[in-house]
Structure 1
Amino acid sequence: MSYALGLPRGFNYLRASSIDEALKLLSEYGGEAKVLAGGMSLMPMLKLRMMEVKYLIDILSLNELRYVKIDGNYLRIGALTTHNDVAMNRLVNERAKVLSESAWHIADVQVRNIGTIGGSLAHADPAANYYPALIALDAEVVIRGVGTERVVKVAEFYKGPYTTDLGPSELITEVRIPVSSLNGVYEFFRRGGASFPSAIVTVTYQEKEGVITSSRISIGAVYPEPVLIKDNLAGMSTKEVGAKAVDIANSIFSSIEAKPLEDTHAPGDYKIRVARNMLIKALANIASGTLSKPKTPVREVVSEWKPAEDKLEYVGDLVRVRVNVNGQWIEDLVEPRLLLVDFLRRHGFREVRRGCDEGKCGACTVLFDGKAVKSCMIPVARASGHYITTIRGLSKGVELHPIQRAFIEEFAMQCGYCTHGFMMVTYDYLTNIDPAADDEVLKLSIKNICRCTGYVNIIKAIKRASKYLSGANP
């Protein structure tokens, strides 16, 4: 019954207030514990019973691990820097464009709001967006244990699907990218709005007077491990690379002995054909000078996650939670595994819908301290001491919020099942990401599923809401 309801098996929830405390807890519980950073890959696996843990150690509030800065010869990115910040940060855009591009293609706004670069690397999904980009950038990770610290190349850190060089009592604390004059192209293909990619190709290179002096080609999501080909473009002019693109791609893929991955979106031979064509396109782009470019908008400051306003209290096997929903504090004794969506519905907030149960559809979207998240992916214990907003919290009295008005006026309500989630992610998107609702950024950001397939009207409503919020006449 619990499986049918999309609940993970029971676990103990622990909240770390510092890196040292997190390492101490990991050292104490070892292989029985799992770190919960963003949790956007971990929680679906727990809910589907593909894995189970005895202890979840939540490190979300460790803002000391959220930063992007230049230090000496490295671009340094804290492990808890979110995907949205990697995508939009000015320094990443300037110094590692292919990494910014890879982050923009991760799922949707809700996932990018809470998912982290360190968490993605530690989870090591073979289709993860970051690995090909970071390997092509010759990046490394900083790993800490109790009284220890070591540095490992990202290419060597990945050991296989969901397997890394990370010990059971260690944390990734930082990603380091050498500051260089690398140019790059990032190519990406997936089926399904917020699904994992079926193929990724990243090419980085240095050139002098039109001649390539070094290159790194990284292929991801196609094979069980990312594939790296170094310097096979060295000595060629950029124009020559374009002229020989087909031969180069054929040579590379014929030399790879690994068996391709199969998944529900694409068979292995199809992935290889797609990746080969993507590499040909990337090499042609190098010849034409069409390289990865930073997208707008750009952030100067890395966002922090607000610490909880209270401490967790266990009462036997239950945990006492206190959540502010639309301005009202609600207290309850719950199992640690209870999800935020079920907590909200239990307390009468039926506008928050259960949908796909895998974190894809977005029907359960709420604002968590002002940021859109999927409440089916959040243990309510994580939300204790925080502020949650549903659609009821957007409007003031009988006056509709501009987003609500826009959805009504553009006939974007449809059956209404998904409308709450669409409105909540639209609020975050227009408030914190892109007030202008740029077509490309919108396409990469809002990927909720509409059961009625009324996407045209929903896009019109988002555009109208953008004008309402900016004060323009729609």
Structure 2
Amino acid sequence: MAYALGLPRGFKYLRASSIDEALKLVKEYNAKVIAGGMSLMPMLKLRMVNPDYLIDIFHINELRYVRVDGNYLRIGALTVHNDIAMNKTISTNAEVLSEAAWHIADIQVRNLGTIGGSLAHADPAANYYPALIALDAEVLIKGLGSERVIKVEDLYKGPYTTDLRVDELITEVRIPINSYRGVYEIFRRGGASFPSVIVAVTVREREGVIDKSRIVIGAAYPEPVVIKDSLVGMGVKDVVNRAQEIAGQVMTSINVKPLEDTHTPGDYRIRVTRNLLAKALAELGNGKHAPLPVRDSLITWPDAGNVEYVGDLVRVRINVDGQWIEDLVEPRTLLLDFLRAHGYTEVKRGCDEGKCGACTVLVNGRAIKSCLVPAIRFNNQSVTTVKGLAKTGELHPIQRAFLEEYAMQCGYCTHGFIMVTHDYLSNVDGAASDETLKLSIKNICRCTGYINIIRAIKKASKYVAEVRK
């Protein structure tokens, strides 16, 4: 029954408040570490991994930073994907990485998922590996009393396998600041699904001639394929004019069997890879992409306090729509189930894989999928459901827009769409431009009423803007 409901097997939950504490707990309990958990939680729910202890490092805010230090752009391992996408310093110094982050899943996943967690998880379809390898990036790895730096290229050892030892953590990503320019292209089947093919190309020019180049192909093969300096000696215009020819030569040189799945068979994946590589090479001459929203601040999360056990249960206290709720629950209890058990049934259980977004709520104003986080993670935090949006007894502007545009259909997905729209308009793009909307809101409507939902989001952006004046 628990498996059918999408619950992980039971585990003990521990929370680390510092890097050193996390390393000590890892060594003591030989536990699984969870950062954002956007890849690990689905694996836990599918019983693909079954740890006895789960050590949560998500609230270590000292691992959230972006700064330029000497010749390096330094990014803390717990910097979340939305910050990687929108941070001005990153977009200025490593646009390829920023572009990669914009294409990760959706707002909810990008609010919690972290760059360090993604690298440590080493999914072959992960967005960051091709971009970071193309930028010649490296990672800082810490253990108890030890520290080492290795290239991202050397970190990946195979699907879900890295060079990390069990008692080590990635604490920082370092990108050398140089004059590389690049292009990042992605192909996926379905809005928030993992990519089927990723291509990242970076080049450095000296007096109009390329003297360094990297082509990195991800998601198509069991590990990233790296082709170095194949464009050296050419001008960018030559690459653009010969894009199809060069793409064909590169693909001929690859002697690796492609990945296959029900969405993208191997032969089709190879054709897509060739076309995507040709497109990326042709894009090298176009300069920067259309500007996307940027900001200087980073998302931080309040202290969740100590984990209090009562027998095998943990005490959870959460402010939901302005009312504090306290309960004793199993550590594996999902925030979704905690809310529904206390009467917030507007929060829907949908796909149970973190894809559909029907379970979306706001935590401290940020949209997250409540089916992908244990309730204990957000102890002492504020959760908002659709009932908490109407502060004055009147409909919130977003609710009004959804009603006026008939964006309700059966109503099952509506709560999730409204909540993610709130975060999108508040924290990403108040103007609801087509490009950011396409990259940000990817909830699933079971009635396929997307046209009216898009109209409602556009109208809501105008209503919200009027309120803010």
TM-score bracket for the superposition, by shorter chain length: over 0.9
- CA-CA distance at 1:431 after TM superposition: 0.6
For the residue of structure 2 that corresponds to 1:471, the secondary structure is helix
- CA-CA distance at 1:361 after TM superposition: 0.2
Counterpart for residue 90 of structure 2: 92
Counterpart for residue 214 of structure 1: 212
TM-score (norm 1): 0.97
For the residue of structure 1 that corresponds to 2:104, the secondary structure is coil
Look up the equivalent residue of 1:327 and give its one-letter code.
G
Look up the equivalent residue of 1:251 and give its one-letter code.
Q
Counterpart for residue 299 of structure 1: 295
- CA-CA distance at 1:268 after TM superposition: 1.2
Counterpart for residue 366 of structure 1: 361
Counterpart for residue 435 of structure 2: 440
Q: In the aligned structure 1, how far is the partner of 2:277 from the partner of 2:208?
A: 20
Alignment of 1:319 onto 2:314: yes
Look up the equivalent residue of 1:23 and give its one-letter code.
L
Q: Which residue, out of 161, 178, 189, partners 2:159?
A: 161
Look up the equivalent residue of 1:356 and give its one-letter code.
C
Counterpart for residue 40 of structure 1: 38
Look up the equivalent residue of 1:404 and give its one-letter code.
Q
- CA-CA distance at 1:139 after TM superposition: 0.2
Q: In the aligned structure 2, how far is the partner of 1:18 from the partner of 1:61?
A: 9
- CA-CA distance at 1:430 after TM superposition: 0.4
Look up the equivalent residue of 2:80 and give its one-letter code.
T
Q: In the aligned structure 2, how far is the partner of 1:433 from the partner of 1:285?
A: 26
Q: Which residue, out of 43, 68, 76, partners 1:78?
A: 76
- CA-CA distance at 1:429 after TM superposition: 0.6
- CA-CA distance at 1:3 after TM superposition: 0.9
Q: Which residue, out of 153, 171, 174, partners 1:173?
A: 171
Look up the equivalent residue of 1:307 and give its one-letter code.
D
Q: In the aligned structure 2, how far is the partner of 1:2 from the partner of 1:453?
A: 30
Counterpart for residue 265 of structure 1: 263
Contact 1:88–1:295 (CA<8 Å) still a contact in 2? no
Q: In the aligned structure 2, how far is the partner of 1:12 from the partner of 1:132?
A: 35
Alignment of 1:354 onto 2:352: no
- CA-CA distance at 1:413 after TM superposition: 1.1
TM-superposition CA deviations, 1:186-217 (whole Å, max 9, x none): 11100100000000000000112321111000
Look up the equivalent residue of 2:24 and give its one-letter code.
K
Q: In the aligned structure 2, how far is the partner of 1:157 from the partner of 1:254?
A: 26
Alignment of 1:251 onto 2:255: no
Moved segments of 4+, more than 3 Å: none
Counterpart for residue 391 of structure 1: 386
Q: In the aligned structure 1, how far is the partner of 2:128 from the partner of 2:80?
A: 12
Contact 1:100–1:294 (CA<8 Å) still a contact in 2? no
- CA-CA distance at 1:409 after TM superposition: 0.6
- CA-CA distance at 1:311 after TM superposition: 2.1
Q: In the aligned structure 2, how far is the partner of 1:145 from the partner of 1:14?
A: 18
> Relative to structure 2, which stretch is displaced further, 195-204 or 321-330?
321-330
For the residue of structure 1 that corresponds to 2:110, the secondary structure is helix
Call closer, same or farther: CA 1:133–1:294 in 2, change over 3 Å.
farther
Q: In the aligned structure 2, how far is the partner of 1:295 from the partner of 1:108?
A: 19
TM-superposition CA deviations, 1:309-368 (whole Å, max 9, x none): x32211111111111111111111111111010110000000000000000000000001
Q: In the aligned structure 2, how far is the partner of 1:46 from the partner of 1:302?
A: 28
Q: In the aligned structure 1, how far is the partner of 2:411 from the partner of 2:148?
A: 52
> Relative to structure 2, which stretch is displaced further, 368-377 or 256-265?
256-265
Q: In the aligned structure 2, how far is the partner of 1:349 from the partner of 1:240?
A: 60
Structure 1 residue ranges without an equivalent (≥5):
none
Counterpart for residue 375 of structure 1: 370
Contact 1:98–1:292 (CA<8 Å) still a contact in 2? no
> Relative to structure 2, which stretch is displaced further, 239-248 or 130-139?
239-248
- Identity of counterpart residues, as a percentage? 71
- CA-CA distance at 1:294 after TM superposition: 6.4
- CA-CA distance at 1:296 after TM superposition: 2.2
- CA-CA distance at 1:472 after TM superposition: 7.8
TM-score (norm 2): 0.98
- CA-CA distance at 1:221 after TM superposition: 0.2
Counterpart for residue 422 of structure 1: 417
Q: In the aligned structure 1, how far is the partner of 2:458 from the partner of 2:246?
A: 44
Counterpart for residue 21 of structure 2: 21
Q: In the aligned structure 1, how far is the partner of 2:101 from the partner of 2:120?
A: 16
- CA-CA distance at 1:397 after TM superposition: 4.6
Q: Please give the root-mean-square deviation of Cα atoms over the aligned residues, in Å.
A: 1.2
- Aligned pairs (5 A) from 1:58-73: 58-73=56-71
For the residue of structure 2 that corresponds to 1:172, the secondary structure is strand
Counterpart for residue 6 of structure 2: 6
Q: In the aligned structure 1, how far is the partner of 2:461 from the partner of 2:241?
A: 45
Alignment of 1:334 onto 2:329: yes
Q: In the aligned structure 1, how far is the partner of 2:287 from the partner of 2:273?
A: 18
Q: In the aligned structure 2, how far is the partner of 1:290 from the partner of 1:53?
A: 48
Aligned residues: 468
- CA-CA distance at 1:252 after TM superposition: 1.5
Alignment of 1:404 onto 2:399: yes
Q: In the aligned structure 1, how far is the partner of 2:254 from the partner of 2:54?
A: 38
Q: In the aligned structure 1, how far is the partner of 2:116 from the partner of 2:288?
A: 23
- CA-CA distance at 1:305 after TM superposition: 1.5
> Relative to structure 2, which stretch is displaced further, 86-95 or 260-269?
260-269
Q: In the aligned structure 2, how far is the partner of 1:292 from the partner of 1:377?
A: 35
- CA-CA distance at 1:306 after TM superposition: 1.6
Look up the equivalent residue of 2:380 and give its one-letter code.
G
Q: In the aligned structure 2, how far is the partner of 1:143 from the partner of 1:279?
A: 32
Counterpart for residue 234 of structure 1: 232
> Relative to structure 2, which stretch is displaced further, 162-171 or 247-256?
247-256
